[in-house]
Copies of this chain bind each other. A is one copy, B any other.
Amino acid sequence: MVTLKDVAKLAEVSVSTVSIVINGKTKERNIPSKTYNKVMKAIDELGYQPNVSARRLRNLDRAKPIIALYWTLDTRTNMLTALLAGIQSEIEKKQFDFELVIRIYTNDQIAKDAKEIMNNTYNGIIIGATSEADLAYLESLSPRMPIIFINRQSKKFSTVYVDSSEVAIEAVSLLTKQSVQQIGVVAVESPYVASNQRINAFLEECRKQHIVVDQSHIITAPNSLAGGVTAAGRYLQLTDRPKTIFCESDTIVMGMIHELNRLKIKIPEEVAIISIGMTGPDATQYSTPPITAIDIPSEQIAAAAISILSKSLSQKNLHDRLLPVHQKIAPTTYIRASFPLPPDDNL
């Protein structure tokens, strides 16, 4: 790394002079152009770049805690925007000002990024979309700053989550109200922890309520709009296809609905659809037809995570600061045209 000192040596001036030049105070400090040129030439030759940490330390302008949000970006249509909106709304309450760093990682490879975590590069960390391997790996570490997992279970670290079985119970209760006997399931391909859990909890709850889920009626697709088109195609090829579908992703469901509309399959007359919502209630509400969804409130989750982090960081005691907090967020159900309730329920 090239430092001020290196520049000073090459330019045959002191570090003070170099610093003055770099900070644009040449005129103010009456540096003659000859000196200025020497310094600039040395900067050029060495390719000097200031060290931001040193500057910050020296200027003490960094009272703000730095919070890293670790997220994956496999699919474009994800919760990230909703999360950012939630984080923003917390910042605006002004109780807690911080710098937000976005770290993108690849599932099953969080270890590569763990250096920053262990180095205490950040004051707090929020991690979403972890795989089981990521989770296990992180649990094996002992970081010294608060960590919050989104939609995961952990004893060691704080969590903000929507309870999968609560979502499942809610979904299945809608089905029983309509006396649905048999259902098809659309799940996200190569799913990570939370989605696995949700599907499993759903299947479990169906069993309890004697709703039949034929193994061949479980369709998986990539978590994208195009994936939804594929899923719709698979669904239509099923023999004895179920009249109701439960979809685990609102992105997939929008693709499905597009395809079903295109093929003039009537919703809900020919297929009724329930989905889990991840990207905010607007997405499902303004679909044609609007989609009945059990919504995971991403903004609320983000706000809760920030709030926990804020409280943690205000703890004086390091031990208290690392004390895990577990906050459960309730899902919200939106009944819409894709799966209406029976008339007597609409009173």
- CA distance in complex: A286, B224 (Å): 11
Question: Which of the residues B50, B55, B285, B313 comes within 8 Å of A49, measured between beta carbons?
Answer: B313
**Residues from chain B with Cβ under 8 Å of A51 in the complex:** 57, 62
How many A residues, CB 8 Å from partner?
76
- A85 contacts partner chain B, Cβ-Cβ < 8 Å: yes
With A52-B122, A55-B120, A144-B22 already in contact, the answer to whether A286 and B313 are too (CB < 8 A) is no
**Residues from chain B with Cβ under 8 Å of A52 in the complex:** 62, 66, 120-123
Question: Which of the residues B77, B224, B287, B316 comes within 8 Å of A43, measured between beta carbons?
Answer: B316
**Residues from chain B with Cβ under 8 Å of A114 in the complex:** none
Contact between B81 and A85 (Cβ–Cβ < 8 Å)?
no
**Residues from chain B with Cβ under 8 Å of A317 in the complex:** 40, 43-44
**Residues from chain B with Cβ under 8 Å of A142 in the complex:** 24
Contact between B82 and A76 (Cβ–Cβ < 8 Å)?
yes
| Copies of this polypeptide in the complex | 2
- A347 contacts partner chain B, Cβ-Cβ < 8 Å: no
- CA distance in complex: A85, B51 (Å): 28
Interface string of A288-311 (1 = CB under 8 A from B): 101000000000000000000000
- A225 contacts partner chain B, Cβ-Cβ < 8 Å: yes
Interface string of A115-154 (1 = CB under 8 A from B): 1000111110000000000000000001010000000000
**Residues from chain B with Cβ under 8 Å of A288 in the complex:** 257-258, 261-262, 288
- CA distance in complex: A254, B40 (Å): 54
**Residues from chain B with Cβ under 8 Å of A76 in the complex:** 81-82, 85, 280, 282
- A229 contacts partner chain B, Cβ-Cβ < 8 Å: yes
**CB interface residues, A 178-195, toward B, < 8 Å:** none
Contact between B104 and A102 (Cβ–Cβ < 8 Å)?
no
- A344 contacts partner chain B, Cβ-Cβ < 8 Å: no
- CA distance in complex: A183, B132 (Å): 54
Distance in angstroms from A257 CB to nearest chain B CB is 7
- A318 contacts partner chain B, Cβ-Cβ < 8 Å: yes
Contact between B258 and A47 (Cβ–Cβ < 8 Å)?
no
- Which residue of chain B has the shortest Cβ distance to A101 in the bound complex? B101
- A88 contacts partner chain B, Cβ-Cβ < 8 Å: yes
Contact between A101 and B104 (Cβ–Cβ < 8 Å)?
no
Among A60, A76, A78, A101, the most chain B Cβ lie within 10 Å of the Cβ of A76
With A80-B84, A144-B22, A282-B77 already in contact, the answer to whether A91 and B63 are too (CB < 8 A) is no
- A108 contacts partner chain B, Cβ-Cβ < 8 Å: no
**Residues from chain B with Cβ under 8 Å of A22 in the complex:** 144, 318
- CA distance in complex: A63, B229 (Å): 44
- A20 contacts partner chain B, Cβ-Cβ < 8 Å: no
5 nearest CB pairs, A to B: A47-B316, A53-B56, A261-B288, A258-B286, A225-B286
Given A40-B318, A261-B288, 15 more contacts at CB 8 Å? A23-B144, A24-B144, A40-B317, A51-B57, A53-B56, A53-B57, A53-B62, A76-B81, A99-B101, A99-B103, A100-B101, A100-B102, A255-B286, A258-B286, A258-B287
Please name 8 pairs of A and B residues whose Cβ atoms are closer than 8 Å in the assembled complex, sorted by A: A22-B144, A40-B318, A52-B120, A59-B119, A62-B121, A88-B104, A100-B102, A225-B282
